[in-house]
Chains A and B, each alone.
Chain A
């Protein structure tokens, strides 16, 4: 599944010639590839209704991923009702209540690629590898979280009523 849209990285750049050169560089990468090619999710109205995997998400594993600074990285920016993690960021909304504010399908789309709902978001795309610049070799072409990890995270977020 490929989604065509403008490159959010360029939205704040006033210098046309630079934008042009970057566009030329990324022209082939402007389409965003989501998830795995065969099993790609369908995005409608900022939501992904169909789960990314056959195995249902596990909220306990999801909580661990969110809490882990090397894996989920969520607490770098967000606060969440995870009391044992002392240092939580304040760059992003509190995840408490996220399950009441958003449907499961909307939460899934957020985590897969927050750029879908907000093109200038600072939240990293966890399930998309397209439309990125200068990714370090070790992470090239790799998703931040696997489809199953995303399902686990979504299952946890849904519990945050």
Chain B
């Protein structure tokens, strides 16, 4: 897939400035954005709100244990470097993906955790979607609960946000649909029995009742791609990071719900 490179070379910062202006005017006037939470049944909302009832708490607790557990050849824990997550990780998940200056491109939270794991702890990276990676991501994300999403503030991300928007609006798959057709133009309507949400990734990783498990945003996106009968983007690919970045920037200012529950 070379198209993303072409996009990055073409897009100027003016588009980004325009987007910021649009987003700001959106929030200043009538913000019509809704979290999927707002449209869930009372039961599922109650499950998300109550830590004792929220099944994702199991992963958060595992993550808390992993946080202070020495690992790898370095025999260091996350806490050895970062201390109390309640302070050091507050607001962190709410700004990911961030611009990684060393690589010159955005990096997601899971990749960032794995980077620390490899370079600081000198331990093998966690597999994508593995229980430990989901647990640590949920634990870090939990420290941002209630805080507004700030992803996309960094102007260096502008071309990548725009690349994500391209993917969001592009027709794909055997059904020839785009993300935007469902989530921009038909949100609030019913796709068979499912209410189409606006697709703001406010609560990842989520406990999805249909999965009976915690899962990442990338997993959720793969579900939608499968629904469109489109070839999925590879895990950690530039495309998937750009798409996640675009979705998070599109949800800028909305409250973090991690770990959310979804039907």
Contact = CB atoms under 8 A, between A and B. Distances in A.
Interface string A121-141: 010110000001111111100
A28 interface: no
A69 interface: yes
A132 B169 contact: no
Interface string B9-31: 11100010000000000000000
Contact of B177 (A22, A87, A122): A122
B191 A91 contact: yes
Given A9-B171, A21-B3, A124 B177 contact: yes
A93 to B, nearest CB: 13
Contacts of B229: 135-136, 138-139
The main secondary structure of chain A at its interface with chain B is loop
B166 A124 contact: no
A25 B174 contact: no
Given A15-B11, A25-B3, A139-B229, A132 B189 contact: no
A124 B175 contact: yes
A132 B173 contact: yes
Given A135-B230, A136-B229, A142 B174 contact: yes
A77 interface: yes
B95 to A, nearest CB: 26
Contacts of A43: none
Given A15-B10, A87-B192, A124-B175, A134 B186 contact: no
Interface of B: 3, 6-7, 9-11, 15, 162, 166, 169-178, 181, 185-186, 189-193, 225-226, 229-232
State the 3 A-B residue pairs at the shortest beta-carbon distance, nearest first. A87-B193, A17-B10, A9-B171
